[in-house]
Amino acid sequence: MSFSEVLKETVDKVNGAVSSMILAVDGIVVEEYVSERLIDLTGLGAEASAMIRDISSAAENLGLGEAGEFSIISDRCGIIMRRINSEYFMALVLRPDGNYGKGRFILKTAIPKIEGEF
């Protein structure tokens, strides 16, 4: 299954999901799928680099190990990010009323479909 197929399937399976993307820890977007543009995904990629670094550092400082998933929920949208491997993440963007629990589950099941490509 191609990256674009997995990204589209991820958005299609989650009520309220509007876009998904694969990004490197340095913020470079590898692939994206957008059904509705709630936020600038290029900007998200750039900001994600700093977030990943900060969250990873905090998790290590707290003795939690490697951060595997994190979310940002705001009044405009929600973003769920899940680690693919040490260099890449997959992100899902949802409307505020989206199904975040299902989004987390679908991200978890989507990762094995693409992780072999990295």
Q: How many beta carbons lie within 10 A of that of residue 13, not counting itself?
A: 15
DSSP state of 85: S
Is the pLDDT reported for residue 106 higher than 80? yes
Q: Round the average pLDDT of the chain to a whole number and report it.
A: 91
- Which DSSP string corresponds to 8-69? HHHHHHSTTEEEEEEEETTS-EEEEEESS-SS-HHHHHHHHHHHHHHHHHHHHHTT--S--E
Give CA separation, 106 vs 47, 63, 112, in Å: 23, 28, 11
The torsion angles phi and psi of 67, rounded to 5 degrees, stand at -75, 125
Is the pLDDT reported for residue 14 higher than 90? yes
pLDDT bucket at 38, cuts 50 / 70 / 90 = confident
Q: Which fold has domain 3-117?
A: Beta-Lactamase (3.30.450)
Residue 15: predicted pLDDT? 97
Average pLDDT over residues 27-39: 89
Helix (H, G, I), strand (E, B) or coil at 5: helix
pLDDT in tens, 42-88: 888 888 888 888 888 898 899 998 888 989 999 999 999 999 998 99
Is the pLDDT reported for residue 7 higher than 90? yes
Domain parsing of the chain, residue ranges:
3-117
Average pLDDT over residues 104-116: 94
Residue 39: predicted pLDDT? 83
